[in-house]
Amino acid sequence: MWHGRFSKDPSARLRAYGESVSFDRRLALHDIAGSKAHAAALRKAGLITTKELKAIHRGLDAIAREIRVGKFKWREELEDVHMNIEAALTKKIGAPGAKVHTARSRNDQVATDLRLWMRDETKALIGSVRVLQKALVALAVRSGDAVMPGYTHLQRAQPVLAAHHLLAYVEMLDRDVGRLADAAKRSDVLPLGSGALAGSTIALDRSLIARQLGFSSVSQNSMDAVSDRDFACEFLSACAITGMHLSRLCEDTILWASSEFGFLKLSDAHTTGSSLMPQKKNPDIAELARGKTGRLYGNLLSLLTTLKGLPLSYNRDLQEDKEPVFDSADTLGASLEILAEMFAAAKWDRKRMGDAAADALLVATDWADYLVRKKLPFREAHEVVGKLVALSVKRGITLREVSLQDLKAASRLFGADALRCLDAKRSLAARTAEGAPSPKRVAARLAFWRKRLAKS
Ligand code: ARG
C-alpha cells in the first residue's frame, strides 16, 4: 500500500512483528460500516459517482458476508484489517475500490473502528451484567427469610438476611453498568475525518458520516482524535472494577461453599473433583473468576503504560491498545455468563445458616442498644455488655445463659425483657432505616430490583 517510496519489501520478521490482522480482524464488520459511511461522504463531495458508490457498497457487503461465514482469506502480509479489506475490495470491484481511502488514514480509521466496536461490546457486557444481577436476585428470593451472620474482619458481627448480603452485589453490579455505559458514551465521538493527524485538504461532510454510523458528535481536534485512547482506558477501568466486584462475590461464594461455613451448595455441574482426593468438590468457577480479575487489572495497566509519555499524535504503539481491550471484554463476558449460570443452580443450606445465625454474640450489640434506650450513654453500655461477654466466655456459657441476676449486677437498668432481646429475627426486624436489613426493607428492595431488571 506504500510501495511508491520503497525499494525493498519489509523483512519477514518485521511483517510477523508488526502485523495486527491476527487480532484486529475482530473489527472487520465495523471497519466495513466505517468505509461505507466514508464512501457516502465521498459521493456527497462529488469525488466518486453514484455508480461507484453502489459498487463500493456492494463489494463491501460481499466481503462482510465472506467474513461472517469464514470464507474471507486474511493475509498477514497486508498487515491489518483495514488493508486486508481495502485490498479485497479493489480486487473485487477494481478502480472504485482504490478511491475509498481518499481523505482517510488508517489512523482515523482504526480509532473509528475501535469506538464502534466498543459501543456494541459495552451493550453486550451490560446485558451480561443484567443476567448475573437477575440470577443473584433469584438466589436472594430462594433464601426467603433465612438469616446468616454478617461479617466484619471476617469475624461474625451482626445478623443479616442472606438476601441482604446478595443484594449488596446487585447494587455493586448496577454501578458497573453505569461505568460501562459511561465508557460507551465517551467512545460515542467520530474521529473519522481527522486523517493521519491534520485532517485533509479534501474536506468531507463529517456529520453525515457520524449520522450514518450512529455517533452523537464529531471530534473537534484532529490530533487529539487520532491519538486519544481515553475511551479504551475507561472501558478497561470499568471492566477492572466489575472484575473486582466479581472476585469479592466469588470469595464469599468460596467461603460459603466450604465445610466450615456450609451455607451454599454449588451444583455438581459447576464444581470439579480432585484427581487425588475422592471426597473433594471444588468451586473452580468462582476461583477462576477471582483469578481472572488479575488479567482485567493487567489490561488496564498495560494500556495506561502504553499511553504514558506518548508524544502527539498517532504512534504505532497505539496498535497495542486492541489486545487488552479484546481480552478484557472476552474475560469479563465469560465470567459474567458462567457465574450467572452457577448461581442459578446453587442451593442454600438454611439449617447451616440458621445454626450460625443462632450465635448469641451476634446480637450482643442489641443489649447495648437496650441500655441506651434506658438512657445509659452508649460508651458505658458498650463496656457493660463487654464485661458480660467476658463473663460468659469465662464460664463457658452462651450470652443467653447469663442469668438475670448477673445482668442486674452488671447494670441495674437490665430487666427480664433484656433476655428476649437476644434474638436475631427480632434484632433484624428492628433495623428499619433506609438501607438497613429489616425483612421489610429487604423485601422492598428485592421487589425494586425484580421490577427494574424485568425491564432490562
Ligand atoms: N494497525 C494499526 C493500529 O492498530 C492501524 C493504524 C496504522 N497506522 C500507521 N500509520 N501505521 O494502530
**Residue 244: which residues within 8 A CB-CB, separation 6 or more?**
293, 296, 297
Ligand 1 contact, 20 CB (< 6 A): yes
Check whether 44 has a pLDDT greater than 90: yes
The per-residue pLDDT for range 305-323, each reduced to its tens digit, is: 999 999 999 999 999 999 9
User: What value does the mean pLDDT of the chain take?
Assistant: 96
Residues of the chain above pLDDT 90, percent: 94
Atom 3 in ligand 1: residue holding the nearest Cα: 319
- Give the pLDDT score at 238: 98
Active-site option among 3, 7, 153, 275: 153
- Give the pLDDT score at 131: 98
Distance 257 CA to ligand 1 centre (A): 48
Long-range contacts of 42-48 (CB under 8 A, 24+ apart): 42/99, 42/100, 42/102, 42/103, 42/204, 44/204, 44/205, 44/208, 45/202, 45/203, 45/204, 45/205, 47/99, 47/102, 47/103, 47/202, 48/96, 48/99
Check whether 428 has a pLDDT greater than 70: yes
Residues of the chain above pLDDT 70, percent: 99
Active-site option among 274, 313, 411, 438: 274
Ligand 1 contact, 2 CB (< 6 A): no
Distance 262 CA to ligand 1 centre (A): 53
Helices 230-256 and 106-142: crossing angle in degrees, nearest 10, is 20
Ligand 1 contact, 107 CB (< 6 A): yes
Mean pLDDT over residues 338-362, rounded?
Answer: 96
- Give the pLDDT score at 297: 98
**Residue 340: which residues within 8 A CB-CB, separation 6 or more?**
128, 131, 132, 134, 135
Query: Is residue 387 exposed (0-12), middle (13-18) or buried (19+ Cβ within 10 Å)?
Result: middle
CA–CA separation, 356 vs 365, rounded Å? Answer: 17
CA–CA separation, 79 vs 90, rounded Å? Answer: 16
Check whether 39 has a pLDDT greater than 70: yes
The per-residue pLDDT for range 238-266, each reduced to its tens digit, is: 999 999 999 999 999 999 999 999 999 99
- Give the pLDDT score at 421: 86
Distance 68 CA to ligand 1 centre (A): 23
The per-residue pLDDT for range 125-159, each reduced to its tens digit, is: 999 999 999 999 999 999 999 999 999 999 999 99
Which residue is listed with cell 480479575?
Answer: 293
Query: Is residue 359 exposed (0-12), middle (13-18) or buried (19+ Cβ within 10 Å)?
Result: middle
Ligand 1 contact, 316 CB (< 6 A): yes
Mean pLDDT over residues 9-26, rounded?
Answer: 95
Ligand 1 contact, 319 CB (< 6 A): yes
Mean pLDDT over residues 193-211, rounded?
Answer: 97
322 CA closest ligand 1 atom index? 4
pTM value is 0.95
- Give the pLDDT score at 419: 87
> How confident is residue 449, by pLDDT bands cut at 50, 70 and 90?
very high
Q: Is the CA virtual torsion 60, 61, 64, 66 positive or negative?
A: negative
Query: Would you mind telling me the total number of residues written for the chain in this entry?
Result: 456
The per-residue pLDDT for range 57-106, each reduced to its tens digit, is: 999 999 999 999 999 999 999 999 999 999 999 999 999 999 999 999 99
Phi, psi (rounded to 5 degrees) for 161: -75, 140
Q: Is 274 a catalytic residue?
A: yes
Long-range contacts of 273-277 (CB under 8 A, 24+ apart): none
From 319, 323, 325, mutation site for ligand 1 pocket: most ligand atoms within 8 A of C-beta: 319
79 CA closest ligand 1 atom index? 1
Contact (Cβ atoms closer than 8 angstroms) between residue 221 and residue 249: no
Atom 2 in ligand 1: residue holding the nearest Cα: 319
Atom 4 in ligand 1: residue holding the nearest Cα: 319
Going from the C-alpha of 123 to that of each of 86, 115, 187, 295, the distances in angstroms are: 28, 13, 12, 21
- Give the pLDDT score at 284: 96
Ligand 1 contact, 106 CB (< 6 A): yes
Q: Is 247 a catalytic residue?
A: no
Ligand 1 contact, 206 CB (< 6 A): no
| Cell of residue 361, nine digits | 454474640
Check whether 1 has a pLDDT greater than 70: no
**Residue 167: which residues within 8 A CB-CB, separation 6 or more?**
136, 137, 140, 442, 445, 446, 449
From 14, 17, 30, 110, mutation site for ligand 1 pocket: most ligand atoms within 8 A of C-beta: 110
Ligand 1 contact, 31 CB (< 6 A): no
Ligand 1 contact, 318 CB (< 6 A): yes
| Cell of residue 285, nine digits | 468457577
Q: Which amino acid is at 230?
A: D
Pair type for strands 217-218 and 189-190: parallel
